[in-house]
Amino acid sequence: MNCGIKETQAFSHSCKAQEIPREVQGTAANVVREIPYEDRINPYFILNNFREELSPLEREEILNYDKIHYISSLRCKQGWATTNEDCNDSEGFYNIIPGDHISYRYEILEILGKGTYSYVVKVFDHLENRPKAIKIMRTEVEEVAASEERILEFMAERGCEEYNIIQIKDKFLFRGHPCFVFDLKLISLYDFIEKYGVLKMDQIKRFSIQILLGLKFMRDHGVIHCDLKAENILLEDDEFGGRAWIADFGLACFVNDKLHPEVQSLWCRSPEVLLQMPYDTQIDMWSFGCIVSLMFFGKYPFRGMTAKEQIKAISEILGIIRLENQDGAPKICNYGHKSTLLALSEALHTQDEKFLRFLDGCFEYDPNARLTPEKALAHPWFLEDRTNCRESQEPECSMDSLIEAY
């Protein structure tokens, strides 16, 4: 169903191309063509010429905007709405209707996902003439939205996009909902695996390096993602994968913030979070290990239905998790299990020792002994085709050349 106003589409699409779409015919098209561009995007022009297609709310709201790039017809919105609250559901989520507008610029195309605090929608930006993604927060979660905005802007100021972290492009408040705009990525890593099955080892290494570069950036700047999973790794290409991006910082925090005990998706949850201990950026490395296992095996390695079951699932493969007091401080210890390499080999059905040692390093119970992003990037698994590369000073063995290779 075409929900945009044809005459309005004419002025929005013809702003740069100076063309009227073929479906727009008759006097309306001629009238729009003859109107100067600056008048076409003037809210008073829209109000006077398309008043019947505006809801009571929009007839007042539209005058708060300097430029109007897109509006929708009454059938693609809650045409009776008179207040911001009329546009929400009972939980404070914005009612998403394909074809409706966001901020008189973005045309809603489809819902990409829904979380505890927000929708993510695919939109068409009628100013820049290209698709984008917008995260629309629920109302009355100002603290959550402010925290995410603070982290997104902090990372953007430090060039996070160069390190495979999705960067905020714009922000605004629309009808009481904080909105964050991002470049559109085509598919999540999880959906990519669902679509094509397990990945080849060179793909796994390429995506792993790209994710690790993002995790290193975050660790260097004291940011904990707190919800790293394949669903939050976005790919540029839904056929070949392309570049991998870390996304969704809704639960993220700084290491010095007050830490929330309920973080991380259950199947990617680290032992220290399961045991409600203090945590730092190393919880993301545990989640990363789970993602690498998923890319190789097609399933997350530990799949409990509750926190108690998750501890049991981890213990059955890696050894019993116990919390001990050592030198006055709690420490997670591993008791009473066979070799973790053998256990991982049986669980993932592989004999690749370097790969298994890499995962074993990600799955250290003690976060201080767990691989850091920097150590992971220098692991022999990535360098297995280069004899003694870690000790070599040859240029071809540098980390930059390794990254370039994948």
> Same domain, yes or no, for 245 and 204?
yes
pLDDT at 342: 81
280 Cβ partners below 8 Å, 6+ apart?
224, 255, 367
Contact between 403 and 214 (Cβ < 8 Å) = no
- This prediction has a pTM of 0.85
Sign, CA dihedral 35-36-39-41, equals positive
Beta strands in 116-200 (DSSP E): 118-125, 130-137, 170-174, 177-183, 187-188
Do residue 275 and residue 394 come from a single domain? yes
pLDDT at 328: 61
For residue 37, being part of any structural domain is answered with: yes
DSSP labels for 69-108?
A: ---B-GGGTTTT--SGGGGB-TTS-B---TT-EETTTEEE
Burial class of residue 15 in the structure, from the number of CB atoms within 10 Å of its CB (0-12 exposed, 13-18 middle, 19+ buried): middle
Residue 35 domain-assigned? yes
Q: Is residue 7 part of a domain?
A: yes
* Residues 258 and 167 placed together within one structural domain of the fold: no
**Domain annotation covers residue 111:** yes
Amino acid identity for residue 281 in this structure: T
Does 373 fall in a domain? yes
Q: What is the DSSP letter of 384?
A: T
Angle formed by the axes of helices 282-297 and 340-348, to 10°?
40
Query: How far apart are alpha carbons 165 and 244 in whole angstroms?
Result: 9
Residues with catalytic annotation?
227
156 and 221 both lie in a single domain: no
Residue at 264: amino acid letter: Q
- Domain end call among 15, 40, 73: 73
* Residue 214 shares a structural domain with residue 129: no
Instruction: Tell me: do 271 and 353 sit in the same domain.
Output: yes
Give yes or no: residues 229 and 111 share one domain. no
DSSP H helices in 123-228? 142-157, 189-196, 201-220
Domain that holds residue 329: 191-405
Q: How confident is the model at residue 187, as a pLDDT?
A: 94
Q: Are 213 and 361 part of one and the same domain?
A: yes
Looking at the structure, do residues 381 and 284 belong to the same domain, yes or no? yes
Contact between 253 and 260 (Cβ < 8 Å): yes
Domain's final residue, options 169, 184, 199: 184
Residue 344: burial class (beta carbons within 10 Å; 0-12, 13-18, 19+): buried
pLDDT for the residue numbered 238: 73
How many separate domains does the chain show?
Answer: 3
- Give me the tens of pLDDT residue by residue for the chain, a chain 406 residues long: 556 553 344 333 323 333 333 333 333 444 444 566 677 789 999 999 889 999 999 999 999 999 999 998 888 888 889 999 999 999 999 999 999 999 999 999 999 999 999 999 999 999 999 999 999 999 989 999 999 999 999 999 999 999 999 999 999 999 999 999 999 998 999 999 999 999 999 999 999 999 999 999 999 999 999 999 999 999 988 777 789 999 999 999 999 998 888 899 999 999 999 988 889 999 999 999 999 999 999 999 999 999 999 999 999 898 888 766 666 666 676 655 556 678 888 888 899 999 999 999 999 998 999 999 999 999 999 986 554 444 444 444 455 655 565 5
Are residues 259 and 387 both part of a single domain? yes
Q: What's the rounded Cα separation, in Å, for the pair 265 and 242?
A: 25
Same domain, 244 and 345: yes
Final residue of a domain: which of 46, 73, 100? Answer: 73
Examine residue 83 and state whether it is found in any structural domain, yes or no.
no
The answer to the question of residue 158 being in a domain is: yes
Evaluate whether residue 154 is within a structural domain: yes
CATH of the domain at 121: 1.10.510.10
- Residue 204 CB-density burial (10 A; 0-12 exposed, 13-18 middle, 19+ buried): buried
Looking at residue 261, what is its pLDDT? Answer: 81
The number of angstroms, rounded, from the C-alpha of 90 to the middle of its chain's C-alpha atoms is: 26
The answer to whether residues 400 and 283 belong to one domain is yes
